[in-house]
Amino acid sequence: MSKHVLRAYALAKLGPHRALRLARRNLCAINHYYIVERPLASLPNPRTLRNGYRLDPVTEDDITAITHFADSLPRDDHRELLARALFYKAGFQRCFFLRSPAGGPVFLQWLVTPPENAVIREHFPRRFAPLRDGEVMVENAFCFPRHRGFGWLPAVTLRLMMLARDEGFSQCIGYIRSDNIPSLNSFSALGFRIRTRILETKIFGVVHRHF
């Protein structure tokens, strides 16, 4: 999917007023991110998911349902969830979906692997560094509002790391904003350590992380 199509999709989903507010907010901003890393050779045993909860690969139908569900969420969550739909449509389609016993959405997270470096170079060259051989990235976690506070981030991240290890990968990385203390704590508890700290600038909506 081309960048022009992605922009048109975002405008259609956000609407002109929300898109304009987002553009104004992103005129100029400076953030810092940590790139964190963890070897996959030795991982702790995961806790058993609650009865009836299951973690499945996302389908195209799931993404369609999620974008419709986003309309019922508060503004910030609506925007964040649509950003995940765009991430999927850009070509990062190895997303995993935690479902409740009733089948409802609980948690989303991506596992990005080196074959998707082409997508990084085409759509996100200033946001992610290409992955090294043997390296995977966990990215774009999103917990639906009613399920927050139950520790789904470490639970799902650990399962994705185990999947990557079983597929022969040796290292996992993630990007975490330096002021996102809950995520930093969760990743630290999983054994991640800081590889480096990078500057992120946003100018007229264009994100550039300075690797």
> What are the tens digits of pLDDT across the range 26-52?
568 899 999 999 999 999 999 888 899
> What are the tens digits of pLDDT across the range 61-118?
999 998 889 989 998 999 999 999 999 999 999 999 999 999 999 999 999 999 999 9
Quote the CA–CA distance of 205 and 27 in Å, as a whole number: 6
CA dist list (Å): 163 to 85, 136, 138, 144: 23, 11, 12, 23
Specify the pTM.
0.87
- φ, ψ at 187 (rounded to 5°): -70, -35
For 4-13, 69-78, 154-163, which range has the lowest pLDDT when averaged over its residues?
4-13
pLDDT higher than threshold 80 for residue 7: no
What is the model's pLDDT at position 8? 54
Q: Which residues pair with 209 in a beta bridge?
A: 200
CA dist list (Å): 187 to 28, 141, 144, 192: 29, 12, 19, 5
- Per the structure, the count of domains in the chain is 1
Q: Within 13 Å, how many C-alpha atoms sit on residue 204's CB side?
A: 0
CATH number at residue 110: 3.40.630.30
Determine the structural domain holding residue 14 and report its residue range: 3-210
E strands, the chain, where?
28-39, 54-57, 95-99, 105-112, 135-143, 171-177, 193-203, 206-210
